[in-house]
Amino acid sequence: MADMWVTMGPQHPFSHGLWTLKVRVDGEVVKDAIPVIGYLHRGWEKECENRTYPLIIPMADRLCYSASMTWSHVYCKVVEEAMGIELSDRAKYLRVVADEICRLQSHLMWLAAMGTDLGNLTVFLWALREREFFLDLNVKLCGQRLTTNYPRLGGVRNDMPYFFERDCMRAVNRFEKVLWEIIGLTDESSIFLSRMRDVGVISRKDAANYGLTGPTMRGCGVDFDVRRDDPYCNYDLLDWEVPVCKEGDAYARYKVRIEEMFQSCEIIRQAMAKLDSIPKTDPIRVKAPRNVPAGTHFARVEDPRGESLMYLVSDGTDRPYRLKVRSPIFVNVSASKHLVQGVRIADIPAIMGTIDMCLGETDR
Amino acid sequence: MPLKYLDKFPKKNNARTLWVLKPMWVTLKKMFKTTFHRPVTIMYPYEKEWVPDNYRGRPGLRFDKCIGCGICKKMCPTTCITMVDSDDNGRTVQRPQVNLGRCMMCGYCAEYCPVNAMIVTPDYELAAYTREELIYGPRKLAWPNSTEMMEVHMEGHLLSDLKKGKNEKISLHCVDVIGLIDGKCIGCTRCVKVCPTEAIEMHTYGEDEKGKPKKFPLFDRQKCVCCERCMDVCPKDAIELKEVL
Amino acid sequence: MAYNSILDWVKFTDPMTSSGYPYGDVYNLPYDIGYKIWELISGLIAWLIDLIVPGNEVSTFLTETPLLTNLLSITLMVVVIFAVGFIVNLTMIWEERKVLGRMMDRRATRVGPLGYFQNLADGLKTFLKENITPSSADKKGYMWALTILIGTSVLLAFMIPLSGRWFIVDYRTGLLILFGLFAIAPFMILVAGWSQNNKYTLLGGMRAAAQMISYEVPMLIIFASVALMAGSLNINDIVNAQHEYMWYIIPQFLGFIVFIIAAIAEAERIPFDLPEAEAELVEGWQTEYSGMK
């Protein structure tokens, strides 16, 4: 049969967002792939140039709506670096807890989507049920489930309420037990293993050359994590591990994310213990100046999907001159051609599911 | 902290995974559990999930507290708030009107409101038939049983305080100092009319050539809420806001 | 004038004694039910007409003609069998959805008492949808493939007797006809998938054809071995032979397991739902069939 181009088009059950993957197929074997993105371009960076600095924080939340805390964190980090503000310990640990809750709920959303891609609808519902507990934690902390608008220039919005530690520990303890149950549904099933193993392999060198970040890269053997190697917010004072897998197939990326979930639980526990020891009178928010001194700055943070980076060019007024966003998925999706070489069409959802596309940050 | 999962999976002995029997066993256990106890579903709309008071649903307005300063309008990222005239016992005060179709429920209007007139309400069921119904005027924005948790307080520390060693949490609302730039004021008294809290008073300090009294405004720091309305309306840009950090 | 009671017209005679009974000396329950329903209807109409115009010929025509009675009883028998099959199907789907929902920690199917009418609601919704035909699809193949496919499946369902007295046809070579009807299905699916002018459906149709043809071979071998053991191709005879000997599942348990797997594959249920893989091919070869099609 001759080669034909199949458009796994913008409206597609597996795509988690609006993007196209054109695959060139010979029978059922994939020869080539072209990703087409840009359907969700909202002109975010241009809109930022019209708004003052505090007003951009809720907009940064909406860059990637399922990992909103880390995006507003990276924005606040870059502006604080431009202003030269140092955060207090309490604000740092609060940001750490918020970031890790965000990571947990984003990975659970990924797990749910991964389940539907493979036809496993039970994992979808179980993972979303667990995610609800973390969204409720977000509500208790700052009032909203997903687009939290919690970090502020100079700290965080408010201190955690008095019952937050109890609820947080309850959620984390329960989640660790339930995650083993969910693993029993995916990992211990031969069908899942045979679908994910040795599929979408990318070597360590290629991963580094393409510029992949995050769990996609750590599943290929490159040992780099912004939280450990370029630490911010006292991550170097907490005791946790960075999971790395050598194989580079879809199963390795899956394993890295599951282990990251367990490590996030650990980080939350330790950060809560540290917050206990810091007195409540420690400042959580410092008043930030209106105008930012002129200069160029960048800051990066470990997003659930990789390394997110913001580059700020400020000119001394109260609006940014240029705010550039470097999203991890934008880079990861460029490697899709390499990832889908030689597999069957039925493997494509499994592979693209492990990249964890979130179109909001790709298209901005 | 050791790795909890990565070392154990994939299980070396593949027979221990028992093909698909483990997942089937897990789902069967769950099936029996949820047949005897209820499943985790919340039967919306017959049952609703409890939301706490500080849930950021649509913004609400406490009509009596609003002074019409317009800070909420300046701070809205989506510019969905406009100030409309509303009568208040004869006077017209400009109060906010929120276009809920554009509102992103960020809570900035409630956070930056100096008198805590704008609150966040736990109201999220906002469906309407037309776009015009979604524009909530000052009366429609009311939320009758507003509690203290619905207010959003903006509290923090000043860097200057921390350097001095003073660890005092203050409200960040009215910290900046408003002042007059020397020589530019022409005494037009527009700022007096526009100030929402009547913090400006005109004082005379002599007479000019034609015999008319020369006036200059005096700002009351206790009453000023830093809404910058006087700065917007001054024809000579004679008022400036000095930031206190 | 004598009062003619309805019982003059509605005479519940034994169907086997009427001339034109198609089944010889075997009692057929759905035929009996259809016969009685037709007698009720015809008797009612005849009595009503007789009240107005006594002694007319239409009434006698309605109730006395064996040809009319025969024809309409057969029609009603088919309706009865179809209704029973339909309700059984609905119940099985309802039960599956409910159990699946509980496995996923949620409440499933909420329409009606215990959610029984959910499938009816879904069917009603599908009826009310618009039948869209893609403009560049091959019209004849598009429509005829479905018709023939559903038609042969229904024929197959009617050929299988549910008990000694619940059947429509009882051919001497019933199993052979089943073989033939099975073979049409993959071919029609291929035509359906191909005629929609859509790469997805083409892939789905080819996968479905490949799967169904390949799983038919073991299925038909099992059929042949069962027929060998019973010594006849007539389905009733196979059942009777098991009475005398023992249930064929015991000497042929391997065949039973293979048949179950092959039947699941034929019906494209999970885990053999590659042609209808919802993740990558949306609906497989049924993508362009919207509405009641």
Average pLDDT over chain B reads 84
Do B39 and C103 lie within an 8 Å CB cutoff?
no
For residue C278, the model assigns a pLDDT of: 46
For B232-244, what is the mean pLDDT? Answer: 85
Entry field: residues in chain C: 293
Task: Please state the domain count of chain B.
Answer: 2
Do A287 and B156 lie within an 8 Å CB cutoff?
yes
For C48-52, what is the mean pLDDT? Answer: 78
> Strands B135-136 and B118-120, how do they pair?
unpaired
Alpha carbon distances (Å) from A237 to A3, A234, B164? 55, 5, 28
pTM attached to this predicted model: 0.87
Closest by alpha carbon to A305, among A60, A68, A35?
A68
B64 with B144, same domain: the answer is yes
Contact C32, C8 (CB under 8 A): no
Residue range(s) defining the domain that contains residue B237: 170-242
B222 with B181, same domain: the answer is yes
Q: In the 3-class helix/strand/coil scheme, how is chain B assigned residue by residue?
A: CCCCCCCCCCCCCHHHHCCCHHHHHHHHHHHHHHHHCCCCCCCCCCCCCCCCCCCCCCEEECCCCCCCCCHHHHHCCCCCEEEEEEEECCEEEEEEEEECCCCCCCCHHHHHCCCCCEEECCCCCCCCCCCHHHEECCCCCCCCCCCHHHCCCCEEECHHHHHHCCCCCEECCCCCEEEECCCCCCCCCHHHHHCCCCCEEEEEEEECCCCCEEEEEEECCCCCCCCCHHHHHCCCCCEEEECCC
DSSP string, C190-255: HHHHHHT--HHHHHHHHHHHHHHHHHHHHHHHHHHHHHHHHT-S-HHHHHHHHHHS--TTTTTHHH
Out of A220-229, B13-22, B66-75, C253-262, pick the least confident.
B13-22
Spell out the residues 6+ positions from residue B126 whose beta carbon is closer than 8 angstroms to its own. B58, B100, B134
Q: CA end-to-end span of chain C, whole Å?
A: 57
- A102 has a chain B CB within 8 A of its CB: no
Last residue of a domain, one of B89, B124, B153: B153
Residue B233 lies in a domain: yes
Last residue of a domain, one of B94, B121, B153: B153
Do C106 and B28 lie within an 8 Å CB cutoff?
no
> Given A7, A191, A346, which is nearest C277 (Cβ)?
A346
Neighbouring C-beta atoms of residue C53, cutoff 10 Å:
10
Query: Using a CB-CB distance cutoff of 8 angstroms, which residues of chain B are in contact with residue A139?
Result: 51-52, 55
Contact C282, A13 (CB under 8 A): yes
B92 with B148, same domain: the answer is yes
For residue C279, the model assigns a pLDDT of: 41
What is the residue extent of each domain of chain A? 43-336
Shortest Cα distance, chain A CAs vs residue B205, angstroms? 34
Neighbouring C-beta atoms of residue B92, cutoff 10 Å:
11
- B244 has a chain C CB within 8 A of its CB: no
Do A285 and B157 lie within an 8 Å CB cutoff?
yes
Residue B6 lies in a domain: no
Closest by alpha carbon to A109, among A34, A19, A17, A233?
A17
Residue B144 lies in a domain: yes
Entry field: residues in chain B: 245
For residue C289, the model assigns a pLDDT of: 60
Entry field: residues in chain A: 364
For residue A71, the model assigns a pLDDT of: 92
The amino acid at residue A116 is: T
Query: Using a CB-CB distance cutoff of 8 angstroms, which residues of chain A are in contact with residue C103?
Result: 122
pLDDT digits (tens, 9 = 90+) for C129-159: 877 777 887 788 888 888 888 888 888 877 7
The amino acid at residue A278 is: I
Q: Which chains touch B (3 or more CB pairs under 8 A)?
A: A, C
- The phi, psi pair for B9, rounded to 5°, reads -120, 145
* H-only helix segments in chain A: 44-48, 56-61, 68-83, 89-117, 121-142, 164-186, 190-196, 204-210, 215-218, 226-229, 250-277, 328-332, 336-339, 348-355, 359-363
Q: Which of residues 149-168 of C touch A (CB under 8 A)?
A: none
Shortest Cα distance, chain A CAs vs residue C199, angstroms? 7
- The phi, psi pair for B155, rounded to 5°, reads -125, 145
C71-95 burial by CB neighbour count: b if 16+ within 10 A, else e?
A: ebbbebbeebbeeeeeeeebeeebe
Q: Which of A20, A26, A125, A354 to mutate to test the interface with C (most CBs of C within 10 A)?
A: A125
Query: Using a CB-CB distance cutoff of 8 angstroms, which residues of chain C are in contact with residue B43?
Result: 107
For residue A98, the model assigns a pLDDT of: 92
> Given C104, C105, C278, which is nearest A119 (Cβ)?
C278
Do C106 and B40 lie within an 8 Å CB cutoff?
yes
Q: What is the helix (H) or strand (E) element at residue C76, kind and residue range?
A: helix C66-103
Is the predicted pLDDT of residue B201 greater than 60, yes or no? yes
Report d(CA B33, CA A299) in Å as an integer. Answer: 48
Do B77 and A51 lie within an 8 Å CB cutoff?
yes
- C45: left (phi > 0), else alpha (psi -120 to 50), else beta? alpha
Return the CATH number at B99: 3.30.70.3270
Do C203 and A6 lie within an 8 Å CB cutoff?
yes
Neighbouring C-beta atoms of residue B127, cutoff 10 Å:
6
Shortest Cα distance, chain B CAs vs residue A55, angstroms? 5
- A140 has a chain B CB within 8 A of its CB: yes
| Burial of B234 from C-beta contacts in 10 A (0-12 / 13-18 / 19+) | buried
Query: Using a CB-CB distance cutoff of 8 angstroms, which residues of chain A are in contact with residue B51?
Result: 139
For residue A299, the model assigns a pLDDT of: 92
pLDDT tens-digit profile, chain A (364 residues) = 578 888 887 877 766 778 888 888 887 788 888 988 888 898 998 988 999 999 999 999 888 888 889 999 999 999 999 998 888 889 999 999 999 999 999 999 999 888 888 878 888 888 999 999 999 999 999 888 888 889 999 889 888 888 899 999 999 999 999 888 888 788 777 778 888 888 888 888 888 898 888 898 898 888 888 888 888 888 888 888 888 888 888 888 898 999 999 999 999 999 999 998 988 888 888 888 888 899 999 999 998 998 999 999 998 888 999 999 998 988 888 888 888 888 888 788 888 888 888 888 888 8
Alpha carbon distances (Å) from C120 to B131, C87, C162? 36, 10, 25
Is the predicted pLDDT of residue C287 greater than 60, yes or no? no
Query: Using a CB-CB distance cutoff of 8 angstroms, which residues of chain A are in contact with residue B155?
Result: 158, 285
Q: CA end-to-end span of chain B, whole Å?
A: 41
Spell out the residues 6+ positions from residue C95 whose beta carbon is closer than 8 angstroms to its own. none
B238 with B202, same domain: the answer is yes
Closest by alpha carbon to B14, among A244, A192, C272, A256?
A192
> Given A149, A184, A241, which is nearest B23 (Cβ)?
A184
Contact B201, B230 (CB under 8 A): no
Q: CA end-to-end span of chain A, whole Å?
A: 39
Joined tokens for residue A224: 């780099």
Do C106 and A125 lie within an 8 Å CB cutoff?
yes
Shortest Cα distance, chain A CAs vs residue B158, angstroms? 6
**Structural Rg of chain B based on CA atoms:** 28
For C160-172, what is the mean pLDDT? Answer: 76
Q: What is the helix (H) or strand (E) element at residue A8, kind and residue range?
A: strand A3-8
CATH superfamily of A43-336: Cytochrome-c3 Hydrogenase, chain B (1.10.645.10)
Contact A259, B3 (CB under 8 A): yes
Residue B45: asked if its preceding bond is cis (omega within 30°), the reply is yes
Last residue of a domain, one of B121, B153, B185: B153
Report d(CA A230, CA A228) in Å as an integer. Answer: 6
User: What confidence category does residue C276 fall into, taking pLDDT thresholds of 50, 70 and 90?
Assistant: low
- A112 has a chain C CB within 8 A of its CB: no
Is the predicted pLDDT of residue B7 greater than 70, yes or no? yes
Out of A39-48, B235-244, C85-94, C160-169, pick the least confident.
C160-169
Is the alpha carbon torsion for C90, C92, C93, C94 positive or negative?
positive
Joined tokens for residue B138: 């000052």
The amino acid at residue A299 is: A
Query: Using a CB-CB distance cutoff of 8 angstroms, which residues of chain B are in contact with residue A287?
Result: 156-159, 172, 175, 244-245
Q: Which chains touch C (3 or more CB pairs under 8 A)?
A: A, B
Q: Which of residues 164-203 of B touch A (CB under 8 A)?
A: 167, 169, 172, 175
pLDDT digits (tens, 9 = 90+) for A127-163: 999 999 999 999 999 888 888 889 999 889 888 888 8
Alpha carbon distances (Å) from C238 to A231, C164, C169, C257? 77, 11, 15, 19
For residue C1, the model assigns a pLDDT of: 47
For C35-57, what is the mean pLDDT? Answer: 79
- A191 has a chain C CB within 8 A of its CB: yes
| Partner residues linked to A36 by β-bridges | A20
Report d(CA B25, CA C197) in Å as an integer. Answer: 43
For residue A310, the model assigns a pLDDT of: 92
- Output C57-62 pairs: Cβ under 8 A, ≥24 positions apart: C59/C9
- A275 has a chain B CB within 8 A of its CB: no
For residue B63, the model assigns a pLDDT of: 86
Q: Which of C102, C207, C273, C280 to mutate to test the interface with A (most CBs of A within 10 A)?
A: C280
> Given C105, C203, C274, which is nearest A125 (Cβ)?
C105
For residue C174, the model assigns a pLDDT of: 80
- A218 has a chain B CB within 8 A of its CB: no
B181 with B145, same domain: the answer is no
Shortest Cα distance, chain B CAs vs residue A174, angstroms? 15
Spell out the residues 6+ positions from residue B217 whose beta carbon is closer than 8 angstroms to its own. B180, B185, B189, B191, B192, B200, B201, B202, B203, B230, B239
Supply the DSSP symbol for A289: P
